[in-house]
Amino acid sequence: MSSHQRTSMTDATKSSGEEWRRSWPVVLAAAAGMALSTANVYSTGIFMGPLQDAFGWSRTQISAGLLIGSAIAVVCSPLIGLAVDRFGPRRIGIAGAIAFCAAWALFSTAQPSIWTWWGLSTLLAMASLGVSPTIWTAAISSLFFKSRGLALAVLLCGIGVGSAVTPVLSSALVSSLGWRGAYLGLAGIWAVVVLPLLFLLFTSAKDRDRVASPGDSTGPAALPGLDARSALRSSRFVKLALSGFILAGVGGGIAINMVPIMMSLGETRASAAGLAGLLGLTSMVGRLSVGFLLDRFNGNIVAAVVALIPVPALLILLSVPDSPVVLVTAILALGLALGGELDCLAYLTSRHFGLRSFGTLFGTIGGAMALSVGMAPVLINYVFDRNGSYELVFWIAIPLCLAASALVGTLGKFRPLDADLADAPRESAA
């Protein structure tokens, strides 16, 4: 039996409390890395106005930078997953965070040619592969078994922190330093906060094994679960990846454009930034609630319900509410859904397919989600540029949410929890 299997079996017999007592520092560090990974995305809406004023670019052109990054992520995310499975999350996460902050700071050098913006977006996209959710979720999934749903939820609250803090911080920095200074300030602040946590606290079961047994070169087959080829060819994986693509496009596309959307409904920039921050805070509540539910109820059903939550919120936005209370209610619902989506996808990936090829599989799902997050803002802003309204976007998003709910709700039975205790048979995932 390999050292990875021994670690998996030992950790899997621990109680939830024991898991948290041993590994809570890892969750804290990984959550910081997760917050960093999406910080640039949630700042985009704040910078759109200043960039339009400075260079005359359209919202579609600015958003195209995210699409470029998504195209790179589609191709490279599975490769990052393979690297995580082979080398462990710590090495990749620390190097990726350094590269990400450096690339983000370079946005302060953008010039009037839109090609400089797209070039900088390409550079940041390459760096962002090193801080992708695959890295952080792989580490947490390897250390938590009894409380995996809640641990992933706490981890993914990092996104909520990033989405809550970044718009407000970006707005303040743009007002005081201008947009160029704001990019430098954002990159510097995030580097100072995140890098020490990663250096001191971030690890995984594989990284711990490497320290305990430096000569052990056991590869991904040492962990229990389906091999990547079998899982990738299954209808179950296709359903999960497609639902991730849909939910990322709807949730991410609206979240990224939350400031412009709120301004189109008559809110000021400062008020819109505050509402965008509320979306991030609510997403943390959604993640923790969904994580709690995933550890206690059928994960497929929980995910199906989460996918339906945006529907009433979108209907509220279509009514163009005059009441601030009604508008906030819609934001709260969107935040709850946004918070639970990635938690569900990471949890379902680990439970349906095991940990053997988790990095590769969730990296592939992450690539699909990245493509969707990149496409959605471009399409959303194209609709706005053509129609002067986001109404059509909301109407399209509603049936997409219904389809995603049906996909995750029909995934079928997943691996028994005790299959993570030892090297389980390679059952069919179809």
What separation in angstroms does the CA of 149 have from each of 16, 255, 347, 422? 11, 24, 6, 20
Most confident of 20-29, 333-342, 379-388: 20-29
Q: What global pTM score does this model have?
A: 0.69
Mean pLDDT of the chain: 80
For the record, the structure tokens of 375 come out as: 């496409």
pLDDT greater at residue 313 or residue 164: 313
For the record, the structure tokens of 54 come out as: 């400075």
User: What is the tens place of the pLDDT at every residue in 296-348?
Assistant: 888 889 999 999 988 988 888 888 666 777 778 888 888 888 778 878 888 88
pLDDT greater at residue 383 or residue 206: 383
User: What is the tens place of the pLDDT at every residue in 28-78?
Assistant: 999 999 889 888 887 887 888 888 888 888 888 887 887 787 778 777 877
- All structural domains of the chain: 21-205+219-421 (1.20.1250.20)
pLDDT of residue 327: 79
Residue 267's identity, in one-letter code, is E
User: 333 with 310: CB under 8 angstroms?
Assistant: yes
The angle that helices 16-55 and 59-87 make with each other, rounded to 10 degrees, is 150
User: What is the tens place of the pLDDT at every residue in 229-265?
Assistant: 787 888 889 999 999 999 888 888 888 778 788 887 7
pLDDT of residue 299: 83
Q: Which of 24-28, 276-280, 426-430 has the lowest mean pLDDT?
A: 426-430
Confidence of residue 193 (pLDDT cuts 50, 70, 90): very high
The residues near 87 (Cβ < 8 Å, ≥ 6 apart) are none
Mean pLDDT within 149-169: 81
Measured at the CA of 253, the angle between CA 252 and CA 259, to 5 degrees, comes to 100
pLDDT of residue 416: 58
pLDDT of residue 6: 46
User: What is the tens place of the pLDDT at every residue in 80-112?
Assistant: 878 887 888 898 999 999 999 999 999 999 899
Residue 3 in this model has a pLDDT that exceeds 60: no
The residues with which 225 forms a beta bridge, in sequence order, are 354
In the chain, the percentage of residues whose pLDDT exceeds 90 is 20
pLDDT of residue 208: 67
SS3 of residue 353 by DSSP? helix
pLDDT of residue 420: 46
Contacts 24+ apart (CB under 8 A), 309-315: 309/333, 309/334, 309/336, 309/337, 309/340, 310/250, 310/251, 310/254, 310/334, 310/337, 310/397, 310/401, 311/398, 311/401, 311/402, 313/337, 314/394, 314/397, 314/398, 314/401, 315/394, 315/398
Q: Which of 374, 377, 102, 349 is nearest to 228 (CA)?
A: 349
Residue 424 in this model has a pLDDT that exceeds 70: no
**Rounded CA separation 360/105 (Å):** 30
pLDDT of residue 225: 65
Residue the block writes with tokens 């700071």 = 105
